[in-house]
Every structure is written in C-alpha cells, then in structure tokens.
Structure 1
Amino acid sequence: MCGRFVVAGEHRDLLGLFEIEIEGDDLPGPSWNIRPTDSVSVVIDSVRGDELPVRRIAAARWSLTPSFSPSLATKFPTFNARSETATEKPFFAASVRSKRAIIPASGYYEWKTVGDVKTPYYIHPPEGMLAFAGLYSWWKDASLANDDPARWVLTTTILTREAVGGLRDIHERTPVALPEDWWDDWLDPTIEADQSFVDAAVEASVPVGEALELYEVAPIRGEDRAELINPV
C-alpha cells in the first residue's frame, strides 16, 4: 500500500518533466509527510468534445470520491486502489476507463512489521521522480451554489500492486510506478482502459520497483520536515 509519501521539490520542477500545458491554482508545496485527504499535485490530460487533450497539473484531495457518493468522506479508505480489482469496483471503475492520473512523488514510506514492532522505511528512486499511476474523479458538493468555486472537488487515488524485489521484505504491496514511456498512454483519456490495459501498466512498472532504494528512518508522526527522510 501507500499511506504516506514525499514531494520534496516545488511544483514548478514538474512542469517540464511532465510537459504541463496548464498550471492549476493552489498547488501544494513541498511536503515530507503527505497523508490521505491531504492536497496533492496530480497530472491529468483533459479533453472537451473534439478538442485535443490538454495536459494540466492540479491540486486534488488524496482519497478518491466518485461522483455518485452522497458525501466527500467515504465509508472506507480510498487513497489506494488495488490494480487487480479496480475495474470491478464501483468506486473506481469509471475512473479506470478514462480518468487516469499521475501523482508525482520523490519517494514514499512503508512500515515493516515484525511481531508488534513497526519500522518505517523510506523508499525512493536512485534519482529523479516517481510517477505513481493514479485515478481521479470530480465530486460535486450539492449543498453549494452553482457558481461557488468550491462546489467541485478533484479527488485522486494511487494504484497498488504486489511488491517486487527487495520491497517484498518490507510490505506485500507497493504503488504502481510508471516508466516514462507509459506516461502518455496512461494519461490519454481517449484510450478506454480495461483490466488488460491496467495489467500491462503494472507489468511495465516492475523494473521501476526493482530499482528503488530503501533505508530505515526514524518514527514518523505528525510533523512535516525534510529530516524525516534521513536514514537512521
């Protein structure tokens, strides 16, 4: 799974990397302790009618809420979605088809459990950024006026898969981290994805996962500071 992650750079560092055309408002700054329901930066390709897709970076609530949900808060956690079953789950199926996102990250935390002891590890690429495969959905707050900018809330989730390589020693699940040659297809809203498409993306992510580095860090609580990723 992925319950905490890190974005150590400024959002402007992502503009060229992901060839962003439109930069959203209120993008979150660097954080070393991003938690579910926090605001995160997501990369999406949106399209209207017969227009070509436009790539944008926007702020989203990290916990996906589908449009049919009566409330923003859901009855069960939706910050992660299992890649093996996302196409079968009503909360995620519509987003898999045409509302796929990339969530940039410098790295993420995972906890190794031995008995009653949980030890945090920081997992990150040797260099550069991770591109987590995600889904997004727009949720409408019907209690607000039509012209209220807060009426529409962009929400997102991170896909996970079985861990590979040394990551299996820490936790059985890991985020799906897409290689660069998959970014365009994953974001393309004109590609109607099915389970075979998701499975292919997961398979392509395996070399990225095998190359990740990890080390133990100090216990992580509510603080947010760069020292959290220092090895112990």
Structure 2
Amino acid sequence: MCGRLSQYRGIHDFVAVLSIPDALINHVGDASLDRYNAAPTTALAVLHQQGQQLHADNLRWGWRPHWARDRPAPINARVEKVAHGRFFRAIWHHRLIVPVDNWFEWVDAEDKTRQPWLIRRADHGPVFCAAIGQFPTAETAARDDDGFVIITADAAGGMLDIHDRRPVVLRADRVHEWLDPATPIERAEQMLLFEGEGSEVFEWHKVGKAVGNSRNQGAELIEPVT
C-alpha cells in the first residue's frame, strides 16, 4: 500500500451500512469529509469502540512506540507480523477501522514516470480498513504521539499488477466484531488472516498524476483517465 487515500463522504454515510445499533459518538462532524488525497501524518476519521459505544474521532495516520524515535513512524503494519512482533505490541489490543472511499497506488510506466491508480470497491460502497492505534479513551487523555497504522496483506489476483500489498478490508458485517473490545485477540488475528475481502470485490483505474501532490484536492483527482 503506497500511502495515499480518499475520505470524501460523511462519517454518517460510512456508519449507515454497519450493523451497530447504538448511537454514534461523533467528534468529526456531520459534513462531508472532502479528503480526496490524504497523505501520511494527516488526521483522518477513524472508528473505534469503547464498551458498546461506537466513536468517530480524528487521528493522525502514523504511529511508533516511544522507544523508536530514531525512525519515521510507520503508516502500515504487515498482517504477518503485527500480532506477534515487538514494534506494535503496545497497540495490538487497540483496534480501529479506517473508513475510506478508495486508496491509490503508483506503478512504473513505460516512459519512466509513475502512473497512479485508484482502487475502490466495485459496488462503490465504503471500504473498511482494519487498523490499530493509540487514541484517547475514557481512562486516558489525548497524547502528542497518538496515531494509527493500517494493516496490510499480500495482494492477490489482478491487483498484483498494481501493487503487491493492500489493506486488509473487512466486510461491513464483520466490523462490529473487529471493533468489539470483547473479541479475543486470537479471533481478531484470525479475521485479519482469513476474512479480508478478496481482490474480486475491487475495481481499479488510472487517474491523473496531479494526485501525486498531496496539496491537490478535489473530485477531479478520482476521475479515470485513459
């Protein structure tokens, strides 16, 4: 996963397709998010659960443990290592969903430039990316080093032509189980390894190279080009 995504619909549009009965505690607002070209370190809308309450908050994309200040904060975590490695041990229990409309990947082109591609669900529905992070709770206040990483797995099928890694995307009816603090960590790892959406669920197309500059925003960035 290259590290660029879109969140342009409103948070209520994302939540509406989830089977979570309790009211949303919304700290990101009701308006459309309008983030067509979000880059790492950007504060993005995330979903997490405290008790039985679903929360929507803005959280920085990227996280590293306090003992790793000598390196850049990762934005992704490999599913093969995230549950058992030392690096993400402190946040492995803190599960999130990053709801997105699409993400972008770059492929080397014949003219030695890099061609951006947009990947989204073929039905154009919300994409629910599994993530973990450090965030405020009822027991802990906000901290300067709060943030999240998106969990990635090997790509499969035709998506290999675009990139060899992609986010672990959960079906809408799996989101509540992933977020529920009562879900055992062994079950959470099983979901990541075996229950992510397959490549047949997605479609992809080329987009203009303006998306390469994260200062560029707007709906024209997600339009297909020939």
TM-score category, normalised to shorter length: 0.7 to 0.9
Matches within 5 A, 1:26-105: 29-47=33-51, 53-66=52-65, 68-69=66-67, 75-96=71-92, 98-105=93-100
The letter for the 2-side match of 1:21 is L
1:21 Cα shift? 2.4
Could you tell me whether the CA contact under 8 Å between 2:62 and 2:73 is conserved in 1? yes
4+ residue runs over 4 A deviation: 25-28, 149-153
**Partner Cα separation in structure 1 for residue 189 and residue 44 of structure 2:** 23
Q: 1:123: Cα distance to partner?
A: 0.5
What residue ranges of structure 1 are gaps of 5+ in the alignment?
A: 48-52, 140-148
Aligned to 1:146: none
Q: Which amino acid aligns with 1:22?
A: I
Once residues 30 and 54 of structure 1 are traced to their aligned partners in structure 2, the CA distance between those partners, rounded to angstroms, is 25
How far 1:183 sits from its partner (Å)? 0.9
Q: Are residue 157 (structure 1) and residue 161 (structure 2) matched?
A: no
Displacement of 1:188: 1.3
Aligned to 1:143: none
Hey, what's the Cα distance between the residues in 2 that align with 1:223 and 1:16?
29
> Aligned pair 1:5/2:8, yes or no?
no
Change (3 A) 1:186 1:3: same
Alpha-carbon separation, structure 1, partners of 2:217 and 2:88: 30
- Any idea what SS the aligned residue of 1:189 has? coil
1:125 to 111, 121, 131: 121
Distance 1:70 1:206 in 2: 32
Structure 2: stretches of 5+ with no match in the other structure: none
**Equivalenced residues, count:** 212
Distance 2:87 2:29 in 1: 26
Q: CA deviation at 1:119?
A: 1.1
Q: Cα offset for 1:201?
A: 2.6
**Are the aligned partners of 2:59 and 2:135 in contact in 1 as well (CA < 8 Å)?**
no
Relative to structure 1, is the Cα distance of residues 211 and 70 closer, same or farther in structure 2, using a 3 angstrom cutoff? closer
Q: 1:106 aligned to 2:101?
A: yes
TM-score, with structure 2 as normaliser: 0.83
Question: How far does residue 86 in structure 1 lie from its aligned partner after superposition?
Answer: 0.6
SS in 1 for 2:83: helix
The CA deviation at 1:25 is 4.8
In the TM superposition, what whole-angstrom CA distance separates every residue of 1:153-184 from its partner, at most 9, and x where no partner exists? 64111000000111101110011110123212
TM-score, normalization: structure 1? Answer: 0.81
- What is the DSSP-based 3-state SS (H/G/I as helix, E as strand, rest coil) of the residue aligned with 2:169? coil
How many percent of aligned residue pairs carry the same amino acid? 27
Matches within 5 A, 1:209-220: 209-219=199-209, 220=211
CA contact (8 A) 1:63 1:79 kept: yes
1:36-79 deviation digits (Å, cap 9, x = unpaired): 010101110113xxxxx32111110011244x4586xx613411
